[in-house]
Chains A and B, each alone.
Chain A
């Protein structure tokens, strides 16, 4: 912040000359990069397809309405499968993530040279691959079906739960731990009486939050053959059966909203 004299009058300015120049240059670079990116995108775009999008959209929307409501009855089973993939996947992930988190947290890791980097690597690898890609790989190994989807959800969630959990462990108050340690407790006892009670509410919140995300993700895993409502969606889109697609989309929308509500109210209750 500085005061500059403009036409002999003193005026307040937010940035002084050097700062202002630096900001201006950074904005210019950003804009140039954006223009370059945009040129690349537009070079690879068939603009005639884009321009008739409103017509296409109106056409699809016209076919979507009215939805074929009777199809909803067929969707109950896939919805149950979807729910199972998300829930069982989250449960498996929780079982796998808890030990990883304790290995990764600075204050509970048994060895900072070996165990911690290993656990961190597992967490990062799991987090950076989307569940759809996990499903793509697992469908090839385990065959199409609910199991591939469940394992895909689990593998993706391990990283998420592990990361948030180990951060929670690192943030625990160390005084109770010191107190328990001074009574001669073993490290297992310190964890179960000192760390666990502190992270339990956070942990429950993380698990439920991830479950909510998993419901959303498991609705689409069927696109690559991993079971659930996505299978129906994929075949309906493939058959250009738009009146069924709209029913499926509505079902997904409703499921996601209900799960979000459930997760929000549980999280409010525990924290």
Chain B
């Protein structure tokens, strides 16, 4: 029997970027919020002098302990899903700050096309451009509507960057100037310009200078030490929830965080959420935390799993295409080019997670798709995140992966290889979805989330096109050997790392028929329940998702405050 705790005005489940942003906005407005975090407590002191590739980058110190909970994976509905036993293709975060701690800090916006992809594709190319099983949908929000929240996020996080004619339009400049340009990035930009493209310095949450945000939190100047991705920052120079929104919320006196609190279920009666049930890892007891408003801000996977496990919303069925929870699970389509330079040697031990140059010429609908067999695209970027010696062993194709030949090539090319990557947009496919696994369970005996996912021809065509564009730039850069890199030539494989940009499952839309939440991240079927995060993306864009997660979280916070004043469905159901 769960032990019932005193009621709170709002409970936030999962204290990362989305949970932290919403908690900061609610607590500043005087709302009492409790944050339940399944992981442990953490402070910036935990990140000082932790420059250890083995522990963090390879053995995933900051990531979810899969012995306790994982997902099962299959490519198609006729396969038996099997557990993801080891981390690979994506890395799930945990502990206070969540995946907001180990992110690289790449902070671009999505394009207007992303939010109205169905309407704009139809307008531009007419009926039949997209296969009917590629179930693109507008998000129920426009770029103009989300734009102020992007600006708010950028000011809070102090984003360093610059705009050009191909980047999404902004109402205000980035709060800090772009990061420094390394020779590798300079070479990429020069070559791109020569090809008639429009390179820019990528927007970065590793800051180019010290910055104090409107909440009074200071983020420091990046030292280009290169320990960003998969690490916490030594310098508090990478915007993360621990140095921004969480202390802002705590400072109000209205925010309390409970760690080791693993939420299993959302309580609800007659379409009203009553609170959440969680297991406290410190005493293994089950507790019930009642609240007027329940806000789910775990990662994509558990946002969906919690709704399914709690019986909220109709689960999606790919055969009938009825139901909404679990629908539109998307990822990102990673391809690009490697270039090997005999006569150049770059200082690639130095870098920063978001230090890079990019071109947006082949993203969204920034280029004509009339004669192409796919829609959308992705950013092409050259990033200098810092080479790490265990995992970075660049050798030309055909080189043996061990022995003398390998040793010679991998030591020779360690500083002589550059990579251009496309983050290809991932569009929803009827048979890519999330539900509960019938066989495998977590440490509490609850079913694991089952991921059914494969690449489609749309994805493969996009990846190939992008890889070709990346190879053109690499050739122009003067590489002696240019090779295609493409993760989407065959079936989706959970082993090689690709990206931690998973999206969907509790998507946003204009009606309860087609989506789980409205554009305030409010659940159509349960109006005092809000689900925020990348699980609300109807598809994944061709850019890093964090700023869009953050912008939608700011909008959700505004909606929640409005709802507290006047409880109602905040958006008229488009049914």
Partners in one complex: no
Taking Cβ atoms with an 8 Å cutoff, the residues of A that contact B are none
